[in-house]
Amino acid sequence: MNQLAKRIVDEATGKEPITPPPAQKNQAAVELGRLGGKIGGNARAKILSVQRRSEIARIAAAARWNNSTTGGHMALIWSKQLTDSDAQQDTEGSKMPFLRFTQGSITEDYKTWFRSVFFANIAWSPATSRNGHRIEKAQINIHVVILGQDKGIRTMSIDHDPARAANHSAPTTHLHYDNVTRRELESQNLSARSVVVKNENGVYSLVVQ
């Protein structure tokens, strides 16, 4: 296990204090400032095209990754409380074997941020949804810790479907649990527990605590 993965586990299990990443300049904000001058943030957002906003998001992601390749510490963190569905518990409908990336703890637009920033540098591939429209899919290796127990690195799939947002602003990005993780969640009642997903220099972790 490399030092970064070990530190993630130690933080999750309480062996080490969580060290916040040092503040760094927000390149997306710099770009917006150049574009807008003295125009307010809301007014700037209205005049920017969807394509331009997406480009600015990519600039921000690239800046973070450039920092990581030069020895800087980059951490992107998202968290929320697990719903019954997320925790693989019985609901009125069918169980959905995935984690929905909702707004949670972030202030950015969750419908685009996970694809354009948080998971920007994984190998996405075009795919077709069950409804026949185009989506994107990828696989990631993610370090799993549940209630302080290190479960190791597991491979999960992730998909992004912008069309989901048309259904009452539903989350567009889903993390599909591997079978082992899904069964472990089913066997415990972890509803309302906190789930934290991190991206530290391209090392992903999922911690339920």
Question: Is pLDDT of 96 > 50?
Answer: yes
Question: Is pLDDT of 70 > 60?
Answer: no
Q: If you average pLDDT over residues 63-72, what whole number do you get? A: 49
- In one-letter notation, the amino acid at residue 63 is A
- In one-letter notation, the amino acid at residue 151 is K
Average pLDDT value for the chain: 81
Give pLDDT tens digits for 186-202: 999 999 999 999 999 99
- Domain map (residue ranges) of the chain: 75-208
Question: Is pLDDT of 15 > 70?
Answer: no
Strand pairing partners for 144?
A: 152, 206
Q: How far lies 43's CA from each of 17, 36, 51, 106, 145, in Å?
A: 41, 9, 17, 22, 43
SS (HEC) of 16-49: CCCCCCCCCCCHHHHHHHHHHCCCCHHHHHHHCC
Residue-level pLDDT at 190:
96
Residue-level pLDDT at 68:
46
Residue-level pLDDT at 35:
52
Give pLDDT tens digits for 127-149: 998 888 899 999 999 999 999 99
